[in-house]
Structure 1
Amino acid sequence: IREMRFLQSALSLTSRIFAARPARTTQFVVGRVPLMVARRPFSDGHPVVFAIESVEDFNEYVINSTTPVLVDFHADWCGPCKLLGPRLEEKVTNRAGSVLMAKVNVDDAGELASEWNITAVPTIMAFTNGECVGEFKGNVSDDELDSFIERAIEASQ
């Protein structure tokens, strides 16, 4: 059990360290050392789903993005976040770069949560050309997710 906890902690830490890297990464664990291999850059050199941990990151990767960005304000302890996050990530990844997804853990980035008046998690906001063009709170159906993503993409055109 201790070894499993160590591996989970190491993977979590490694995920945070490499989340903002400009390539898609697959994680493997050899012994007790997490290794980062199989880096596959996307066409623009940035991952489709990435972590935001500061106001500076938010401004650079969300506000200044020329591609629509969905921002997932979530928390590790939030049940609905654990259900919605993977579904949203899959839908964004399947859109082949026409939309991006930024993940903001409100416990780690409280300043951002305050700045954007996040009062509930999950809160998903859509940004196009630096402007918020849509928002919803809580878990929604797949059809509602698809519609939300399409509206964000259309708003950028």
Structure 2
Amino acid sequence: MQTVNNYNEFMEEVRNNRSVIFYFSHENCSVCKVLLPKVEQLVHSTFPEIKLIYCNTISSPEVAAQNRIFTVPSVLIYFEGKQYFQFSRNFSIDQIKEAIERPYKMIFE
């Protein structure tokens, strides 16, 4: 999975992709480690046109700060350069799937 290390890289990914999901986490978060493979599986199997990108909040705190990420895990979902959804701390894979389905179909199908 691709990672972003600074805010310029983050913004470049938002500008250059029709849809992007950013997964914010760090290595000390046990919940994040369990949830990440599930998010990867969802994106690759159900929403293959969406690019999934990882951001470590400890090694890249400016990216987290610019996006108002104060807790992990957090997920930001962008469609056509605009943030549509943000999920933080307590969320399920089903919530992410339900949020993505409609805009994904409108853009990619």
With normalisation by structure 1, the TM-score equals: 0.61
Change (3 A) 1:152 1:85: farther
Structure 2 gap segments, 5+ residues each: none
Distance 2:96 2:47 in 1: 16
Q: What fraction of aligned residue pairs are identical, expressed as a percent?
A: 23
- Cα deviation digits, residues 79-138 of structure 1 (max 9, x gap): 211121110011111136321111100011111111111111011011112211111112
Higher relative contact order (CA 8 A, sep 6+): 2
Distance 2:58 2:103 in 1: 26
With normalisation by structure 2, the TM-score equals: 0.85
Kept after mapping to 1: 8 A contact 2:74/2:88: yes
Change (3 A) 1:122 1:151: farther
Whichever of the two has the greater Rg, that structure is 1
Q: Residue 88 of structure 2 is aligned with which of 96, 117, 137?
A: 137
Partner of 1:153, secondary structure, is helix
Please tell me the root mean square deviation across aligned C-alpha atoms, in Å. Answer: 2.0
1:76 Cα deviation (Å)?
0.8
